[in-house]
Amino acid sequence: MIIYNVTCNVENEILQDWLQWMVEIHIPDVMQTGFFLEANINKVISSNDDGTTYAIAYSCESMKKLHEYQLKFSAELQKKHLDRYGEKVVAFRTILELIRKF
Q: What is the pLDDT of residues 51-102, one digit of tens each?
A: 899 999 999 999 999 999 999 999 999 999 999 999 999 999 999 999 998 9
Neighbouring C-beta atoms of residue 39, cutoff 10 Å: 17
- Rounded to the nearest 10°, the torsion over CA 79, 84, 86, 91 is -60
For the segment 62-71, what is each residue's pLDDT rounded down to a tens digit? 999 999 999 9
List, for residues 3-35, the tens digit of each pLDDT value: 999 999 999 999 999 999 999 999 999 999 999
Contact 59, 2 (CB under 8 A): yes
Q: Select the CATH number that applies to the domain covering 2-97 from these four: 3.40.109.10, 3.30.70.20, 3.30.70.100, 3.40.50.300.
A: 3.30.70.100
CB 9 within 8 A of CB 92: no
> Residue 36's closest CA among 56, 59, 64?
59
